[in-house]
Structure 1
Amino acid sequence: MGEGSIKKRQPHNGTTGPTEKEKTEKATALQKDVGLLSGICLIVGTMIGSGIFISPKSVLLYSGSVGPCLLIWTACGVLSTLGALCYAELGTMITKSGGEYPYLMEAFGSIVAYLYSWTTVIVLKPSSFAIIALSFAEYTATPFYPGCTPPTVIIKCLAIASLLIIVAINCISVKLASYVQNFFTAAKLVIILVIVVAGIVLLAQGKTQNLSNAFDGSSMSFGAIGLAFYNGLWAYDGWNQLNFITEELRNPYRNLPLAIIIGIPLVTVCYVLVNIAYFTVLTPSELLVSPAVAVTFGDRVLYPLSWIVPLFVAFSTFGAANGSCFTAGRLAFVSGREGHMVKILSYVSLRRYTPSPALIFNGILSLFYIIPADINSLINYFSFAQWAFYGLTALSLIVMRFTRKELHRPVRVPIVIAALIVVVSCYLVLAPIIDQPELEYLYCTIFIFSGLILYYPFVYLKPRWARRIMRPITMHLQLFMEVVPPEDYEPEDPMKSVKF
């Protein structure tokens, strides 16, 4: 098994077309196994994860009172929907997997796309995976340690175990990963429904004291608003996940925008109603000191069935982690295919038709991010860089309206929406830095641009000695993992669209 791609069998026995057996053979490439329902479940299942069970405290802390807190949750949903509409135009215009990566490549050239893939593959995706795995472990362990915080070593071991299981599921089968995603999305909607219905019943009983005078005591600074949005948008993060698997989506021109239009407003309504339910039971002070808001809510409202809350929250975070892993592997896969990462990451399992090398690589990196267990620092670090790229992607839509007029646009959003996303992204990136400068923002910026140190010698120059070193490594990894290059894809020259 060499490094070349597997060739399709030629017609034989004097026939002019393929035999019945050959008709049923699959190309060694990613398959279009994701339909509309699975697409909606991927969006909803990735968005509703740990965020709604972690972020309420942080959003309330930075917003100051109940009223601004609920407004920020609503505004985050509207903002996510507008951003996703921009991505719907981009995803139906450029039907390549990899999320923001192909759009940045088309609009700004190879260097910007490379810096995005460098930052996202090495830091953003694996750190997000690690955050959700840690949240899963925390909610899973909490019922076994009533009245105290679970030991850190237990949380980390559970997080690592869940991470390994999820990577294995995604390596085995795309359909299996989709079925897991659909099941856990249904489970998380059940617990959301339970919390919302309980909140409605309590409101009907007159439990409105925490919602009256909702704006009293609110005093928000320029930077505090940004940090409140950071934590709210962390709970909404995942609205762009379907763009990472466009090549595996059946009928993307219809299913991509339809999944976005159905999925994101559904999540927004759920989030706002869940927060209202929290405030029917918990005062702002009680919510801020609660180690696990949803569990505290269940203990007070659902006893003796309160155990179902941590169980279903664990289901929710596990499903979100599965969705994060599913999409993260596709970005590494596309980056390797275009020459911005090592080539082995672009190979596909010969038996499973999954990008197993990219999935395993993402899983290994995520293990390293589980070691520092400060979730809030990781969220701030993640959001700072992520929103910089969201803004650039929205800007790419504006740029391509003028530079790539010939591209077919099945979905076309008003350009003012893209401009709004650019402005909001600039605010979310700059406001916390201006209000409370911290070294982690500097470290993030340095890391992003440090990718240029590797770009010039390995992507631009493509030295022969590097290829000689990588060739035997690639060959042995290929044989060990039984993976091959994807068929029927001719990678573009990474330098063809370089813009200095």
Structure 2
Amino acid sequence: MGEETVKLKKNVGLLSGIMLIVGTMIGSGIFISPKGVLQNSGSVALSMIVWVGCGVLATLGALSYAELGTCVPKSGAEHAYFLFAYGPLGKIIGPIPCFLFDWVGLFIIRPTMFAVISLSLGTYAAKPFYENCDPPDSVVKMITICTMLLIAFINAWSVRVATIVQNVLTFAKLLAIAIIAGGGIYYLALGSTEYISEGFEDTVTDPSLVALAFYNGLWSFDGWNNLNFVTEELKNPTRDLPLSIIIGIPLTTACYVLTNVGYLSVMSKEEINLSHAVAVMWGEKVLGIMAWIIPMFVVMSCFGAANGVLFSTGRLCYVAGREGHFPQVFSHLHYQRMTPVPSVIFTALMGIVIIIPGEISTLIDFYSFSAWTVYGLGAFTVIYLRITRPDLKRPYRVPIFIPVIVVFMAIYLVLAPVIQNPKIETLFAFLFICSGLLFYFPFVYFRFIPPGIGKFQVFLQKLFAVCPTKDANEPIADDDSDTAKSEKML
């Protein structure tokens, strides 16, 4: 089995790409508690502007990543882009941005995202059994862990089944949004405009509160770059990657705005600010005895979002193992099912480790600082490659002002909370990112292999029935003399 090689199959088409983006972004937030945006903006009108603004920023970031994904058509998103862009800087410095992204991505960003969405599912699934009180943490976390293991099993079993689950559940959550938006429009047509007609009344004037409104909105939009993690599995990445982004993110933005219109057609902003489950309250007011379908849709929505996160994160772990930044066994695929079983299991276990001691608010604070640091560097990479590799073939070329805007917004989103409201979670995230260097030099640069690791990897290879992968790298068209070096780095 050691001599046999396998590779990922191209199973993701345009529809699946759109569903992966939409299905990952639309998770629990818009159904459970959109009050963060409304509470910090103060007014109905400004909250709507914030939702649209978050959608615009997510679209700008995704379009920047679309250029990177089409000129560096490799799975792993920032992993591949940082390695290609900064690898030629030298043997010591070049791989560091890529490794630090792998480090923070696989230990903070991606597992935390998976954990928060799954924990929201566990909370909502347990709530019907505890009508008069909050469900115990132990029950919520048990449901959450079981859900995470089920999602891991699906992704380890079949790429096709995972994409079918993603597509079906995305349609389900779009149906839920259609119910809320349609109900809201119906009530507005009946003249229920009391709450939504408040406009800019009570609008806040404190810029820091507006920033907090954007933080809450941007969390709901996170996942816009997930398709970049599975580029090698796209049937036609040059067309499908940018097209999925252009369709998927504006669709999500429209869904969020219409859902808020639905809420405000029957609920005051005071009711929304006091509610921990806005969609449930809306269902009780509008659907009557059929209100139970809303919690069901929320659980399905969370399951689909968590499935999308694990699907894409498994590919990051896979390419990190292929590059040598993680143990090589993570780059192996199941010899029959062609799924990255070790990577999927590792990601799920990391999410479970985070779940056990963590709370949602703390996890989100830890996540946001790390994520926007990476997104800012990703947008800067577009600018850097325009300067250093002007002749690089770019099937999709984003206007240069777009990544510039994303870089400045990322700087603001990283520094603003530190300046305005310093939290210990931010310091921990920064120190954890820097601590990656303590592992980079001995294990990656000097290639130190701890005793027994080889035998352990062989054991895992036999346990999971996985084989080494056939490197599917294709030449990246470029007219300068660094082509061979860059291809070698990839």
Shorter-chain TM range is over 0.9
Please say if residues 134 and 373 of structure 1, whose CA atoms lie closer than 8 Å, have aligned partners that are also in contact.
no
Give the deviation of 1:470 after TM superposition. Answer: 1.6
1:386 matched residue in structure 2: 371
Give the superposition deviation at 1:493: 9.5
Indicate yes or no: 2:267 matched with 1:269.
no
- Aligned position for 1:57: 35
In 1: Cα distance, 2:298 partner to 2:286 partner: 16
User: Which stretch of the first structure deviates more once superposed, 46-55 or 442-451?
Assistant: 46-55
Q: SS state of the match for residue 40, structure 1?
A: helix
Q: Which residue of 1 aligns with 2:20?
A: 42
1:163 aligns with 2:153: no
The reply to whether residue 358 of structure 1 matches residue 356 of structure 2 is no
Report sequence identity in percent: 48
Q: Does 1:126 align with 2:111?
A: yes
User: Which of 38, 43, 47 is the equivalent residue of 1:69?
Assistant: 47
1:186: which partner in 2?
Answer: 171
Give the residue type in structure 1 aligned to 2:43. S
User: How far apart, CA to CA, are the structure 2 residues paired with 1:303 and 1:104?
Assistant: 52
| Native 8 Å contact 1:60 1:66 kept in 2 | yes
1:346 aligned partner? 331
1-side partners of 2:141 and 2:392: how far apart? Answer: 47
**Aligned counterpart in structure 1 of residue 243 of structure 2, from 249, 252, 258:** 258
**CA deviation vs aligned residue, 1:38-74 (integer Å, no higher than 9, x gap):** 1111111111111212451111222222222111111
For residue 6 of structure 1, the aligned residue among 4, 7, 19 is 4
Indicate the larger mover: 46-55 or 391-400: 46-55
Answer yes or no: is the 8 Å Cα contact 1:72–1:229 preserved in 2: yes
Partner residue in 2 for 1:91 = 69
- Give the total of aligned pairs: 474
SS in 2 for 1:408: coil
CA distance in 2, matches of 1:220, 1:279: 22
Q: How does 1:59-458 map to 2 (within 5 A)?
A: 59-108=37-86, 109-458=94-443
How big is each residue's C-alpha offset from its partner over 1:140-183, in whole Å with a ceiling of 9 and x where there is no partner? 22223223222222211111111000000000000000011111
| 1:110–1:494 CA contact under 8 A, matched in 2 | no
- Check the 8 A contact 1:340/1:459 in 2, yes or no: yes
Code of the residue aligned with 2:454 in structure 1: it is R
Structure 1: how far apart are the matches of 2:133 and 2:211? Answer: 32
How many angstroms does 1:380 deviate by? 2.0
Counterpart of 1:18 in structure 2 is none
Cα contact 1:222–1:435 (8 A) shared by 2: no
Contact 1:169-1:176 at 8 Å conserved across structures: yes
Question: Deviations 1:391-443 (Å, cap 9, x if unpaired)?
Answer: 10000000000111222111111100010000111111111111111111111
Distance 1:291 1:147 in 2: 14
Q: Distance in 2 between matches of 1:254 and 1:496?
A: 26
In structure 1, the residue corresponding to 2:452 is in which secondary structure?
Answer: helix
Inter-partner Cα distance in structure 2 for 1:493 and 1:173: 35
Give the gaps of 5 or more residues in structure 1: 8-27
Q: For residues 143 and 59 of structure 1, what CA distance do their matches in structure 2 show?
A: 26
| TM-score with structure 1 setting the length | 0.91
| Structure 2 contact 33–275 (Cα < 8 Å) conserved | no
TM-score normalised over the length of structure 2 = 0.93
Q: Which residue of 2 aligns with 1:23?
A: none
Q: Distance in 2 between matches of 1:204 and 1:489?
A: 56
Q: Which amino acid aligns with 1:82?
A: L
1:215-239 deviations in Å (ceiling 9; x for gaps): 2222243332222211111111111
Counterpart Cα distance in 1 of 2:39 and 2:57:
21
2:61 is matched by which residue type in structure 1? G
Which stretches of structure 1, 4 residues or more, deviate above 3 A after TM superposition? 488-498
CA distance in 2, matches of 1:101, 1:475: 26
Residue 9 of structure 2 corresponds to 31
Kindly state the Cα deviation for residue 283 of structure 1 after the two structures are TM-superposed. 1.5
Partner of 1:482: 465
How far, CA to CA, are the matches of 1:322 and 1:493 in structure 2?
36
3-state DSSP of counterpart to 2:180: helix
Q: Distance in 2 between the 1:201 and 1:438 partners?
A: 44
Q: Which deviations, in whole Å up to 9, do the C-alpha atoms of 1:105-151 show, x marking residues without a partner?
A: 22233101111110010111111111111111122222232232222
The alignment partner of 2:244 has SS state of: helix
Amino acid of the residue matched to residue 41 of structure 1? M
Structure 1 position 489, deviation (Å): 4.7
Q: Give the secondary-structure state (helix, strand or coil) at the position aligned to 1:46.
A: helix
Give the Cα–Cα distance (whole angstroms) in 2 for the partners of residues 68 and 147 of structure 1: 34
